[in-house]
Structure 1
């Protein structure tokens, strides 16, 4: 199961219920932040373990209701562009079906996220 640790700004935009969790696998845990780029809402997801970042530009309010689908599609597209085998990608995505959205807990990752969004 993916654990998305969203900033307060993103949680406010998503308008979803925050779930509390203490247990998470670092490879399946991502931090997410929202900022504006060229007057478009942009979400950056960053993996806690690898610091891999996924950027989605031009996010609409309606898409925020399906953030899991949006995230998984972007992750799949990115991994395919890196020429990772399809069976490896499918296995990672299938093993992590479902998503928990919670608050942030790692200042180091948030600092890296903020650094990415100010460039």
Structure 2
């Protein structure tokens, strides 16, 4: 189980009500933050991990329910782990634990700020380098950004450290 801390725009998109009491996450990566953004007249949701700031971007086109969106998020996270060349035995238990999610309000401005920096980079890469926002190339670009909140480490390095047995 994990908590998905959603901005107001993301709460409206997912049609969820935040809980007041948060349980402890049972996943190694911990909780995630979510925000909605628009670029090139398309709407996307970005999911950013609290511990690593690993970004996962999904297009919301054609998705109606929060269950659909969370399922697509988990599929993209699976693909991200494969792109990071992590062995399946390291990340499959993480994905299984993520079957259950609770929704909460955002509570950490530092993470929201880092998420906004990642969104700005995604928009720039989309507009000027013509990289599709929810493509593997964009994931590789965004996950390699060293952020101050991570001590200027790349999120991919932190994910590999956390998922070590």
Q: Which has the larger radius of gyration?
A: 2
Q: Secondary structure at the match of 1:55?
A: strand
- Whole-Å separation in 2 of the counterparts to 1:21 and 1:75: 26
Unaligned runs of 5+ in 1: none
Greater fraction strand: 1
Q: Secondary structure at the match of 2:64?
A: helix
RMSD: 1.9
Residue of structure 1 in register with 2:38 after alignment: 36
Residue of structure 2 in register with 1:108 after alignment: 110
Pairing partner for 2:55 from 48, 53, 56: 53
2:64 matches 1:62? yes
Unaligned runs of 5+ in 2: 122-165
**TM-score, normalization: structure 2?**
0.65
Q: After superposition, what is the alpha-carbon deviation per residue over 1:7-62, rounded to whole angstroms, capped at 9, x for unaligned?
A: 00111122223222334348220001100011111111111111111111353341
Asked if structure 2 preserves the Cα contact closer than 8 Å seen for 1:2 and 1:99, the reply is yes
Larger relative contact order (Cα-Cα within 8 Å, sequence gap ≥ 6): 1
**TM-score, normalization: structure 1?**
0.87
Asked if structure 2 preserves the Cα contact closer than 8 Å seen for 1:18 and 1:103, the reply is yes
- Whole-Å separation in 1 of the counterparts to 2:38 and 2:72: 18
Residue of structure 2 in register with 1:72 after alignment: 74
* Cα distance, 1:58–1:68 mapped onto 2, change above 3 Å: closer
